[in-house]
Amino acid sequence: MKRIAVFTSGGDSPGMNACIRAVVRTAIYHKIEVFGIRHGYDGMIKDEFIEMDSSSVANIIHRGGTILKTARSKDFLTIEGRKSALANLKKHNIDGVVVIGGDGSFRGALQFSEICDIPFVGCPGTIDNDLIGTDFAIGYDTAVNTVIDAVDKIRDTAESHDRLFFVEVMGRDAGLIALRSGIGVGAEAIIMPETKTDIEDLIKRLESGRKSKSSKIIIVAEGDEAGGAFVIAEQVKKRLPDYDTRVTILGHIQRGGNPSAMDRVNSSRMGFAAIEALIAGKQNVMIGIIDKKIAYTPFQNAVKHHQRLNPDFVRMLDILSL
């Protein structure tokens, strides 16, 4: 292992820069040259390779986003695009690659392995935290804290006006942001893709709740089957017209911001472990942290499954929101 490449792919997440920093400096420690690839798989096809050294990653551990940029590549979905990407990896004499991304990024690497003999190791970067093989993905902790901070502010105005707020958070396929942030803000209910939306049950919960409570918060994951916060809020408003109902969509604010301490440390551990995994001869595996220990999950297992909701969390929410 003399020269490696690192790139970020798919949606950005806070902590990616910390991971890049760990990859670069760990590789240099092991006398391995490092190239960064800008704009993900698209940059691999377009030959956007840049040589990196320790100074390239100075003062980035605290920054959100990704200094290597990211993109979704339609060309990489074609065999011609993947062949061009392979040609550029060979051109730069790359012996191993670290990909920092989510489900689609790892599926791309797995498909690439059909024609590419260069080993890939992945670090899970997704605020949705929906990959099997790690307790926390890069960016998840920061995203949850961003939601909590925003909802705390919404709660202030909700209490001032005795309002019912529906707050929509990210989570197209998974409700893990909604679940953890909902518990953290003391939400009256959490609506997620993993659970069937029962409007009747929600109405009963709101009607039977403490009348003295001046504000009520409902957290809705964007991928919920009922159609999102606006649709659900409209149904509730028709049934409970006396409520002063409002909707807030947090959107991409959840992707940005300085990474939390937890994300900085986890990202650093994963980047460090990714280089040691390549040196040890591992390939097509995702680096994760399970029970505070580094774990290796084959790409095919990481991309085919989603985290199951902790039933204890769901039960706890039902009790604490009374």
**Higher-confidence position of 306 and 18:** 18
Residues 30 and 95 in one domain: yes
* Catalytic, out of 103, 128, 224, 263: 128
CATH of the domain at 104: 3.40.50.450
Alpha carbon 1 to chain centroid, angstroms: 29
Does residue 254 contact residue 10 with C-beta atoms inside 8 Å?
no
What's the pLDDT score for residue 153?
A: 96
Same domain, 149 and 225: yes
Is residue 207 exposed (0-12), middle (13-18) or buried (19+ Cβ within 10 Å)? exposed
Are 14 and 153 found together in one domain?
Answer: no
In a domain, 319, yes or no: no
Query: Is there a single domain that holds both residue 180 and residue 46?
Result: no
Instruction: Give domain status of residue 211, yes or no.
Output: yes
H or E stretch covering 243: none
Whole-model pTM over 0.85: yes
- Domain match, 99 and 220 both: no
Instruction: Check residue 113 and give its pLDDT.
Output: 96
Task: Write the CB contacts of 211 (distance below 8 Å, at least 6 apart in sequence).
Answer: none
pLDDT in tens, 53-77: 999 999 999 999 999 999 989 999 9
The domain of 116 spans 3-139+259-304
How many independent structural domains does the chain possess?
2
Q: How far apart are CA 220 and CA 312, in angstroms?
A: 19
Q: Which of 237, 255, 273 is the last residue of a domain?
A: 255
Helix H or strand E encompassing 254:
none
Contact 10, 124 (CB under 8 A): no
Are residue 248 and residue 191 in the same domain, yes or no?
yes
Residues 239 and 199 in one domain: yes
pLDDT on residue 232: 92
Residue 113 CA to residue 102 CA, distance in Å, equals 17
The pLDDT value recorded for residue 211 is: 61
Predicted pLDDT of residue 206: 84
Does 317 reside within a domain? Answer: no
* Distances 35 to 14, 191, 195, 249 between C-alpha atoms, Å: 21, 43, 44, 38
Write down the pLDDT at residue 60: 98
How do residues 237-278 score in pLDDT, each as one tens digit?
Answer: 999 998 899 999 999 999 999 999 999 999 999 999 999 999
DSSP of 175-227: -HHHHHHHHHHT-SEEE-TTS---HHHHHHHHHHS-TT---EEEEEETT-TT-
pLDDT, tens digit, for every residue of 96-128? 999 999 989 999 999 999 999 999 999 999 999
**19 and 54 co-located in one domain:** yes
pLDDT digits (tens, 9 = 90+) for 158-169: 888 988 999 999
Same domain, 203 and 230: yes
How many CB atoms neighbour CB 152 within 10 A?
Answer: 13
What CATH code is carried by the domain that includes residue 226? 3.40.50.460
pLDDT surpassing 90 at residue 6: yes
Domain assignment of residue 312, yes or no? no
| Confidence band, pLDDT 50/70/90 cuts, at residue 308 | low
Residue 320 in domain: no
**In terms of domains, do 148 and 236 share one?**
yes
Q: How confident is the model at residue 305 (pLDDT cuts 50, 70, 90)?
A: low
Which residue, among 293, 282, 314, has the nearest Cα to 121 in the 3D structure? Answer: 282
Q: What is the mean pLDDT of residues 201-222?
A: 81
Does the active-site annotation cover 128? yes
DSSP β-ladder status, 33-37 and 3-8: parallel
CA distance 118 to 3: 11
Is 134 in the same domain as 147?
Answer: no
